[in-house]
Chain A
Amino acid sequence: MLKGMFKKNSPVVDAGIVQEYDGRKKKPEVPSGLWIKCSECNHSFYKKDIEAAMMVCPSCGNHFRMSSTDRLRLIADEGTFDEWDKKLSSVNPLEYPGYADKIKKLEEETGISEAIITGQAKIGGIDSVLGVMDSRFLMGSMGSVVGEKVTRAFERATEKKLPVILFTASGGARMQEGIFSLMQMAKTSAAIARHNEAGLLYITVLTDPTTGGVTASFAMLGDIIISEPGTLIGFAGPRVIEQTIRQKLPAGFQRAEFLLDHGFVDMIVERKDMKQTLSKLLSVHVSSSWTSQDELSIVERMKNTMTNAIENTINTVNTVMGGGNNG
């Protein structure tokens, strides 16, 4: 009822006010990337809030894609990660136009030199070889560098008798390197086979998206295959499949939950539980693989367990008999 009845100040100040902030003249503006929009529920969130929530949507639990560096921080015990083959970088074997520039630009933008980071780290105090792929780098595609890094990681793990954990995120083989990319599937698989023959543990964690040549090689070769919720996992994409088989695909096709139901994935683990789950799996499997190094500690541990059990039994007997420990 008071609409338009008040007298106001002189004409509205126009756009383009330039203010000085932190010594620089600039207009108020939202820097890009300040907010992240969830693709599932369409809510926007402040980037720092999302980062604090491990890149998981606070509203619907959707797991956003995560950079390899953030992932390392989440999984490896603080200060224990030792990166391997950092300097390995792509050449342009087919002289594919624009490829070298693209790589250079991505290196600058992301601060990483390839679509995977590998190295050794402690996870829950247990030495492991850790590899983390990064979808920001040419959609995590596997070229000769990714293949070589994975292969070397497995070879060293076999030598050092260490378990391997790989976080996969990839659109598949890198087309810019053609046949060289495809050969990486065989090479990595062979290295994994030798690691396996040595009786060592390999865990893969499939993160969004894991597809193409990576799915068809090292992603699916894990002794234990874990996935984050909602992850897209497949070889060819759903559209290609639909057009080829001329059938409508079922709902949730190629999502982690669908693959779990159909036996391709062993378990789905939320990001917040990932480190704990990995630590647990490692502790179970690594301590049971009987290496000479572990021998002593395991014998020691078994001794302790036995002693505790005996003490407990004595206590129980005492309580039941009404005696008690009057020491």
Chain B
Amino acid sequence: MMFKKILIANRGEIAVRIIRACREMGIQTVAVYSEMDKDALHAQLADEAVCIGPAPSKSSYLNMNNIISATILTHAEAIHPGFGFLSENARFAEMCKECGITFIGPDPEMINLMGNKSVAKQTMNKAGVPTIPGSDGAVETVQEALKLADGMGYPVMIKASAGGGGRGMRLVWNKEELPKLFDSAKSEAKAAFGDDTMYMEKFLENPRHIEFQIIGDEFGNVVHLGERDCSLQRRNQKVLEESPSPIMTEDLRKKMGEAAVKAAKAIKYKSAGTIEFLLDKHNNFFFMEMNTRIQVEHPVTELVTGIDLIAEQIKVAAGQKIEFKQNEIHVSGHAIECRINAEKPSENFRPSPGKITSLHLPGGYGVRLDTAVYQGYTIPPTYDSMIAKLIVHGKTRTEAIARMKRALGEFVIEGIDSNIEFQMELMDDKNFVEGNFDTQYINKLLNIR
């Protein structure tokens, strides 16, 4: 069976992306929009559109009651939550189930399981997926700390349970300095928080953020679609993503991919999802978390695998089997995505909403642009500042970088500020070109300037 009509409980480029997939599949679409978004592209593009409340997300895109009502009223059978908003809300998934509406995503139990960090870590440990080694709860004495650190290997981080802002925290490189640092962290924690409960975790040096796209169906099949390198982040917000990772080897991909599949199978995961790993400089990888939804950066995977992830996600939700096997998945060429935000990099990336007075979009061979803006559109200050995703594909990484530079150069937005120039500089950055960066790289780069 396939759905006849789907409601998209989201806005912006992801809503547009989902509407496009539905249209190609012959599925009717219902958009929902806030009062602020009545002129938004997704509301214009869908077959039907329903206003679900005032501008604040809380009253509209997070208003479960109104979204369910809109679904029932328009006779849609399924809801695609996109990312953000209600996409990882187990309550909402549960509510859909009770109303006989298909939630295009995993079951509420799976969302809950992965939403709780410590439960997720335990689940993965049990399934044999490596997690960042750490103490099980409090570390009481120096002796205990020494023993634990020997087990997980230096460097280790000592942290105060009540900690924050770096206080009561010490990075320890060897066992000689551990006793002294342990005691000083403990007394600092006592003084700062009135609580000197300490715990310990392995410290990863210059880790990279490598995530694996997976998709599972209700028959227990899980396939991974290779990795994405999302190490380039500013304040934990991804700035640029690429697939494959410039440092990936065939052997490592196999190992990490198998771990990702194991992780998904451990919770009988169905739908599209992402397993995030941290990879240290010795190529040891550790499970960080699982995102139980489609992700912003899914297009890079689509370009290198040729698989439409949104379409597959919808098919799996409709109860169909995954049509491909692991050995049929081939990563070909190289894809890079730049997130284009309405923000002003020179003023600490402050958001820059407003009216787009003039717009020229890049195109041509190997260029894909996912956006919801158009000339004359006013970007509201209420929501996320990401306005477009520019994605390019090339035979090699070098070709992809050259294509991205070309496309960024064609991209003209007037009336608001954007980070196009910043992305352009990144394309010329020596370390980026050499693939030599970690999760802290952009922060370091900005501090130098």
Contact = CB atoms under 8 A, between A and B. Distances in A.
Interface in A157-180: none
Given A9-B28, A19-B77, A34 B95 contact: yes
A15 B76 CA distance: 9
B101 interface: yes
A2 B101 CA distance: 31
A28 B1 CA distance: 16
Nearest to B101: A28
A12 B47 CA distance: 7
A46 B44 contact: no
- With most chain B CB atoms within 10 A of its CB, the pick from A6, A29, A30 is A30
A246 interface: no
A26 interface: yes
B100 A17 contact: no
A34 B28 contact: no
A46 B91 contact: yes
A19 B100 contact: yes
Nearest to A20: B1
A13 B65 contact: no
A49 interface: yes
A13 B91 contact: no
Contacts, number: 71
A303 to B, nearest CB: 35
B94 A30 contact: no
B47 A29 contact: no
Interface stretch (B67-75, B124-132, B339-347, B410-418): B67-75
B39 A46 contact: no
B65 A35 contact: yes
A2 B38 CA distance: 11
Given A13-B4, A15-B75, A31 B28 contact: no
A21 B77 CA distance: 10
A48 B76 CA distance: 24
B77 A31 contact: no
A69 interface: no
A46 B68 CA distance: 11
* Size bin of chain A's contact surface: 20 to 34
Given A1-B39, A1-B376, A3-B44, A17 B99 contact: no
A30 B28 contact: no
A27 interface: yes
Interface string A5-43: 110110011111101110000111111001100000000
Nearest to B69: A30
Contacts of A3: 44
A44 interface: yes
B99 A29 contact: yes
A139 B77 CA distance: 39
A48 B65 contact: no
Contact of B23 (A4, A9, A31): A9
- With most chain A CB atoms within 10 A of its CB, the pick from B23, B71, B95, B376 is B95
A28 B45 contact: no
Contacts of A21: 100, 102
B91 to A, nearest CB: 6
B44 A28 contact: no
Interface in B98-140: 98-102
Contacts of B95: 34, 46
Contacts of A15: 75
Contacts of A28: 71-72, 75-77, 99-101
Contact of B48 (A12, A17, A44): A12
B381 interface: no
A4 to B, nearest CB: 8
- Provide the main secondary structure of the chain B interface: mixed
A2 B374 contact: yes
A83 to B, nearest CB: 31
A14 to B, nearest CB: 8
Nearest to B39: A1
A97 to B, nearest CB: 39
Interface in B52-93: 64-65, 68-69, 71-72, 75-77, 91
Contacts of B44: 2-6
A2 B376 CA distance: 10
Contacts of A44: 65
- With most chain A CB atoms within 10 A of its CB, the pick from B29, B47, B98, B100 is B100
A29 B74 CA distance: 11
Nearest to A16: B75
B26 interface: yes
Contacts of B45: 6
Contacts of B68: 30
Nearest to B375: A1
A17 B77 contact: yes
A17 B75 contact: yes
A6 B69 CA distance: 26
Contacts of A5: 44
A248 B44 CA distance: 55
Contacts of A6: 44-45
Contacts of B4: 13, 17
B434 to A, nearest CB: 43
Nearest to A30: B99
Given A17-B5, A34-B99, A46 B72 contact: no
A14 B75 CA distance: 8
Contact of B100 (A14, A27, A49): A27
Nearest to A3: B44
Contacts of A9: 23, 26, 28-29, 47
Contacts of B29: 9
Interface in B319-352: none
A46 B64 CA distance: 9
A5 B91 CA distance: 37
A29 B65 CA distance: 12
Nearest to B41: A2
17 contacts: A6-B45, A9-B23, A9-B28, A9-B29, A9-B47, A12-B47, A13-B4, A13-B5, A13-B75, A19-B77, A19-B100, A21-B102, A28-B75, A28-B76, A29-B100, A30-B69, A48-B94
The 5 closest A-B pairs by CB, nearest first: A28-B100, A28-B101, A21-B100, A2-B44, A13-B4
Given A9-B23, A13-B75, 19 more contacts: A1-B374, A2-B44, A9-B26, A9-B47, A13-B4, A17-B75, A17-B77, A27-B75, A28-B72, A28-B75, A28-B77, A28-B101, A29-B99, A29-B100, A30-B72, A35-B65, A46-B91, A46-B95, A49-B91
Interface of B: 1, 4-5, 23, 26, 28-29, 39, 41, 44-45, 47-48, 64-65, 68-69, 71-72, 75-77, 91, 94-95, 98-102, 374, 376
Interface of A: 1-6, 8-9, 12-17, 19-21, 26-31, 34-35, 44, 46, 48-49
